């Protein structure tokens, strides 16, 4: 038995690299998005045990929407990729290329068992370059095939060593075989079929039986003429061990999927729901279709579902001839291999076992699968095909006059296949290139039109995407997902009426409820999102909130475990000011999925609405325990801790904001709130730095500009505050508190009464009833020594605020001053010192107002934010739409934002004390002014 040399290993590896090096430039496309980008099981924050309770796509196996594809070892390799390179697609593709090279070497080693050195190398070379493998190698999710094949081939090689030199049983290789079979099955389900390959090898190759010999031995035993030969008993013992091990694996696998098959629709596999004989004729016709792809891989397509292959509805359909021809050829090969004992028969037998047995799980003949044809499932069957081609090459090359011709043909075949593989890799560069290339092969598949639309949608080219989605509805008028895509795109184009009409069409196509039949088994779970999307659309109209709620409840009634319906309904109930019912909706969703951080996050928002800050913080922390980098939970929990006024929370709040800005380095809100935290801690330099960073990221950031100016003012850098206030008022000319602060600085520090007067007059033009602006304008009149005008101004101010005692006292002082000056025969004008003192007193009042103003500005940071809104405000509700995303045809639209939080910020004891101290100082200055005015 010849071994594989290093030269052959280098040749195969070099050929694989030459064919697939351009795959390293490809991204994540098609199923990669669900398996890699959207799969939380890859993240280090997800417990490792989740890999063994969730399916290949990260969905719990207990959920009906699960695909039931249990491949934890494959997902583990994705997780290792993520650990080293996160979501860098090149590393995932590189590992796939390496694994394909390993499979080629192992395959060459297997071929050496029943082919000569040259023909086995031809088989391995053909396998290395065959274009049918591009989906398995270049598509990242094809790693399941690669890993399963490695363990499958290793298990077979181990089993071939289970017979000793004296024909005794060697149990160690058999035990190793069982372990490797289990590993292959945990990579992909078809790995278990290697047991059948081992059985065929044992009976027909290792023991050299033919079918007539087996029948003759069985007849002899049944007639009592003879017992089983010892060799046969040994064979039976080995096979029994393998079969029992296989049955145990099958039992475990059935338990894992909860004894339930996945839910597929007629769009995934139309023949699966077709009546007899259409179903049988179509499924059998698919066998020669797959064989033709191996023979002539010139037209490859990433998706063969829906209308790609029309149903074979009649025995008179000419395509049945292909089915007959396929079974005839298969039968002849099987007859040849079962009847004779020579090496050629054994080679054909092993080739057939490699073709047929691994393909059975995907054949639809015994149970339906979620596709019509899938190129990647031909990865292992193509090994048998390559063996047949190499065996044919050996036979032909032994004929002297055809030897050169056969070598030339093999050379041409390998070259053309290598070029085809290399070029096919470029199709997988992006979703747009992949799906447009598929449309060149087949234009009758609505899913392909949908997916091109999704690719354009991801580029924000909604107009062009809409054309593809509409074409999908024309190709397959009853495709619910296509109509949902049309509706979502119309919504993105701000055409609400057209969007609603499209959703209503999709809703009308939903299967009707049949009494006694479980609804979820007859419809794809994602199609129920039509109720969610329609409700999200119409709830933008406040007069239709009840109608939206009815749609959510309808979806829940159809599927009580429809988690997203509870989440969306909870958001709506918050908008309807029904926090108790919203909390109940989220608690029900948590019963279905306690590992969803967004659910804990939204429940925390409900707690805030219900004035339960401690419960809110507890639920925020639960969300962060599940996902330590949950951005909105970090942001809003930090705000909640800051608003508590507890100094002990300040370091943790600061830490969370710092993590948040790591996650969102371009979000000015994070830096602004770090600045506010620094201001709370009297760390002026840090506060200035963070505020400047926020302003640099978001020009005209109102709260950051105002609070930076206030910081300068409070730290006796009033003149530094002026350019900041100028910028604030350039972007927000209506900012009243900025105008008040600017007027105060101009009057008290620049002695610019004209500039201050312009500020206060602008306030009154915008808000004639603004008491503070009016009062400060009166001070300007007093400063200008226009006492009659100051008197009238104070009278008007007192009319606006009759309960403000300081206004009344100032009016009394001005009147007294006017009377004294009239009695003395002096012009009615104030003394300079008194005017200056009055100005200082009013400046104090302006500052006091600004101190109050900063508290109002801080309300923009309120912790009831559930998402990111416009400007500096963070008070919009987060939509928990991660479970609805995707690039497939059933992608759900994003949920709507909720209302801003309306709570007023509660002031800490320290803040209240600071305010009272400032007010006391203002009153003291007021008394001094009154004493000066009266004395003058």
The pLDDT, as a whole number, for residue 32 is 93
Confidence band of 823 (pLDDT split at 50, 70, 90): confident
pTM of the model: 0.72
The pLDDT, as a whole number, for residue 860 is 38
The pLDDT, as a whole number, for residue 911 is 45
Q: Rounded to an integer, what distance in angstroms lies between the CA atom of residue 570 and that of residue 564?
A: 10
Give the mean model confidence (pLDDT) for residues 291-310.
89
Q: Rounded to an integer, what distance in angstroms lies between the CA atom of residue 482 and that of residue 453?
A: 10
Q: Rounded to an integer, what distance in angstroms lies between the CA atom of residue 623 and that of residue 636?
A: 12
Output the CA torsion 345→349→351→355 (10° steps).
150
Confidence band of 430 (pLDDT split at 50, 70, 90): very high
Q: Decide: 231 and 443 in contact? Cβ < 8 Å.
A: no
Residue 156 has pLDDT above 80, yes or no: yes
Name 760's Cβ contacts closer than 8 Å, sequence gap at least 6. Answer: 739, 740, 743, 773, 774, 776, 777, 780
The pLDDT, as a whole number, for residue 525 is 67
Q: C-alpha distances in angstroms, 348 versus 2, 118, 119, 384, 390?
A: 20, 17, 13, 9, 11
Confidence band of 888 (pLDDT split at 50, 70, 90): very low
Query: Between 550 and 784, whose confidence is greater?
Result: 550
The pLDDT, as a whole number, for residue 894 is 27
Taken as a whole, the chain contains a residue count of: 936
The pLDDT, as a whole number, for residue 249 is 87
Report helix, strand and coil shares of the chain as percent, to nearest 5.
70, 0, 30
Residue 323 has pLDDT above 90, yes or no: yes
Q: Decide: 45 and 629 in contact? Cβ < 8 Å.
A: yes
**For a pLDDT cut of 90, what percent of the chain falls above it?**
57
Residue 727 has pLDDT above 70, yes or no: yes
DSSP 521: G
Two structure tokens written together for 733: 């000319």
In tens, the pLDDT along 23-81 reads: 999 999 999 999 999 998 998 888 899 999 898 988 888 776 777 889 999 999 999 99
Q: C-alpha distances in angstroms, 99 versus 129, 192, 915?
A: 14, 19, 69
Q: Decide: 59 and 66 in contact? Cβ < 8 Å.
A: yes
Q: Which of 87-101, 325-339, 352-366, 390-404 has the lowest mean pLDDT?
A: 390-404
The pLDDT, as a whole number, for residue 728 is 94
Query: Between 609 and 853, whose confidence is greater?
Result: 609
Q: Rounded to an integer, what distance in angstroms lies between the CA atom of residue 370 and that of residue 356?
A: 19
DSSP 206: I
Q: Rounded to an integer, what distance in angstroms lies between the CA atom of residue 54 and that of residue 68?
A: 9
Name 695's Cβ contacts closer than 8 Å, sequence gap at least 6. Answer: 668, 701, 704, 705, 708, 727
Give the mean model confidence (pLDDT) for residues 295-322.
90
Q: Rounded to an integer, what distance in angstroms lies between the CA atom of residue 800 and that of residue 99?
A: 81
Q: Which residues of 173-195 are buried (b: 16+ CB within 10 A; e: fewer)?
A: bbebbbebbbbbbbbbbbbbbbb
**For a pLDDT cut of 70, what percent of the chain falls above it?**
85
Give the mean model confidence (pLDDT) for residues 660-677.
93
DSSP 522: G
Residue 863 has pLDDT above 60, yes or no: no
The pLDDT, as a whole number, for residue 1 is 46
Give the mean model confidence (pLDDT) for residues 357-381.
86
Q: Rounded to an integer, what distance in angstroms lies between the CA atom of residue 488 and that of residue 450?
A: 12
Query: Between 785 and 893, whose confidence is greater?
Result: 785
In tens, the pLDDT along 612-641 reads: 999 999 999 999 998 888 999 999 999 999
Give the mean model confidence (pLDDT) for residues 183-190.
93
Output the CA torsion 296→302→305→310 (10° steps).
-30
CA 149 vs. chain centroid, Å, equals 29
Two structure tokens written together for 752: 């610019």
Residue 931 has pLDDT above 90, yes or no: no
Other C-beta atoms within 10 Å of 890: how many?
Answer: 22
Q: How does DSSP assign 547-580, residue by residue? A: HHHHHHHHHHHH-TT-HHHHHHHHHHHHHTT-HH
Q: Decide: 431 and 455 in contact? Cβ < 8 Å.
A: yes
């Amino acid at each position: 038995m010849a071994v594989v040399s290093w030269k052959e290993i280098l040749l195969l590896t070099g050929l694989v690299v030459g064919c697939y090096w351009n795959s390293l430039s490809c991204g994540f496309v098609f199923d990669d998005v669900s398996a890699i980008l959207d799969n939380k099981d890859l993240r280090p924050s997800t417990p490792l045990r989740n890999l063994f309770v969730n399916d290949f796509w990260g969905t719990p196996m207990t959920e009906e929407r699960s695909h039931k594809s249990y491949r934890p070892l494959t997902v583990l390799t994705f997780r290792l990729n993520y650990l080293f390179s996160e979501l860098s697609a090149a590393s995932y593709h590189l590992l796939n290329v390496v694994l394909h090279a390993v499979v080629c070497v192992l395959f060459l080693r297997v071929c050496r068992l029943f082919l000569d050195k040259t023909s086995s190398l031809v088989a391995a070379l053909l396998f290395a370059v065959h274009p049918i493998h591009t989906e398995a190698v270049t598509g990242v999710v094809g790693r399941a095939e690669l890993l399963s094949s490695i363990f499958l081939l290793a298990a077979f090689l181990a089993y071939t060593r289970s017979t000793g030199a004296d024909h005794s049983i060697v149990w160690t290789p058999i035990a190793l075989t069982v372990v490797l079979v289990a590993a292959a099955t945990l990579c992909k389900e078809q790995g278990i079929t290697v047991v059948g390959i081992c059985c065929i090898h044992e009976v027909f190759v290792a023991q050299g039986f033919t079918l007539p010999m087996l029948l003759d031995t069985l007849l002899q035993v049944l007639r009592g003429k003879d017992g089983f030969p010892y060799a046969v008993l040994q064979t039976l013992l080995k096979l029994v061990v393998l079969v029992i091990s296989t049955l145990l694996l099958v039992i475990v696998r059935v338990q894992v999927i909860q004894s339930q098959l996945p839910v597929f629709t007629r769009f995934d596999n139309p023949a699966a729901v077709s009546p007899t004989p259409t179903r049988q004729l179509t499924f059998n016709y698919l066998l020669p279709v797959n064989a033709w792809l191996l023979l002539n891989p010139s037209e490859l397509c990433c998706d063969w579902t829906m209308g790609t292959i029309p149903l074979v509805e009649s025995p008179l359909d000419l395509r049945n001839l292909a089915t007959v021809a396929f079974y005839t050829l298969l039968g002849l090969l099987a007859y040849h291999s079962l009847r004779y004992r020579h090496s050629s028969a054994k080679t054909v037998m092993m080739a057939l076992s490699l073709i047929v047995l691994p393909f059975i799980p995907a054949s639809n003949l015994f149970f339906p699968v979620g596709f019509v044809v899938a190129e990647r499932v031909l990865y292992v069957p193509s090994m048998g095909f390559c063996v047949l081609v190499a065996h044919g090459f050996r036979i032909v090359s032994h004929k002297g006059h055809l030897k050169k011709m056969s070598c030339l043909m093999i050379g041409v075949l390998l070259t053309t296949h290598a070029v085809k593989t290399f070029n096919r890799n470029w199709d997988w560069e992006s979703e747009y290139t992949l799906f447009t290339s598929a449309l060149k092969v087949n234009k009758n598949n609505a899913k392909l039109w949908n997916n091109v639309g999704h690719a354009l949608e991801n580029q924000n080219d909604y107009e062009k995407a809409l054309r593809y989605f509409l074409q999908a509805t024309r190709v397959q008028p009853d495709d619910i997902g296509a109509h949902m895509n049309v509706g979502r795109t119309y919504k993105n184009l701000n055409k609400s009426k057209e969007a609603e009409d499209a959703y209503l069409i999709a809703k009308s196509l939903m299967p009707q409820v049949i009494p006694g039949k479980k609804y979820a088994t007859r419809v794809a779970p994602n199609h129920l999102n039509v109720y969610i999307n329609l409700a999200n659309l119409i709830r933008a109209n406040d007069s239709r909130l009840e109608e939206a709620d009815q749609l959510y409840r309808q979806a829940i009634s159809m599927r009580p475990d429809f988690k997203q319906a509870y989440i969306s309904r909870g958001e709506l109930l918050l908008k309807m000011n029904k926090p108790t019912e919203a909390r109940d909706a989220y608690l029900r969703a948590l019963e279905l999925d306690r590992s969803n951080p967004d659910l804990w996050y939204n429940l925390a928002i409900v707690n805030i609405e219900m004035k339960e800050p401690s419960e809110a913080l507890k639920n925020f922390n639960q969300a962060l325990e599940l996902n330590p980098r949950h951005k909105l939970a970090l942001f809003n929990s930090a705000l909640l801790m800051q608003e508590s006024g507890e100094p002990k929370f300040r370091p943790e709040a600061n830490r969370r904001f710092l993590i948040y800005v790591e996650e969102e380095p371009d979000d000015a809100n994070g830096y602004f709130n770090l600045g506010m935290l620094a201001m709370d801690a009297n760390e002026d330099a840090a506060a200035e730095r963070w505020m400047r960073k926020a302003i640099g990221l978001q020009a005209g950031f109102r709260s950051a500009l105002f609070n930076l100016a206030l910081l300068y003012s409070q730290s006796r850098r009033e003149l530094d505050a002026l350019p900041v206030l100028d910028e604030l008022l350039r972007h927000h000319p209506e900012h009243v508190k900025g105008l008040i602060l600017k007027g105060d600085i101009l009057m008290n520090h620049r002695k610019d009464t004209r500039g201050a007067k312009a500020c206060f007059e602008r306030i009154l033009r915008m808000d004639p009833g603004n008491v503070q602006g009016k009062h400060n304008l009166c001070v300007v009149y007093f400063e200008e020594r226009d006492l009659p005008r100051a008197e009238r101004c104070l009278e008007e101010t007192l009319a606006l605020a009759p309960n403000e005692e300081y206004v009344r006292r100032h009016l009394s002082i001005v009147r007294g001053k006017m009377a004294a000056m009239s009695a003395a025969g002096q012009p009615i004008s104030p003394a300079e010192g008194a005017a200056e003192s009055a100005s200082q007193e009013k400046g104090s009042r302006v500052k006091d107002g600004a101190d109050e103003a900063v508290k109002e500005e801080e309300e923009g940071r309120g912790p009831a934010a559930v998402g990111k809104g416009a400007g500096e405000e963070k008070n919009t509700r987060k939509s928990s739409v991660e479970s609805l995303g995707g690039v497939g045809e059933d992608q759900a639209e994003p949920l709507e934002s909720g209302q801003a939080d309306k709570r007023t910020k509660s002031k800490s004891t320290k803040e209240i004390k600071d305010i009272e101290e400032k007010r006391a100082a203002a009153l003291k200055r007021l008394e001094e002014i009154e004493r000066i005015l009266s004395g003058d």
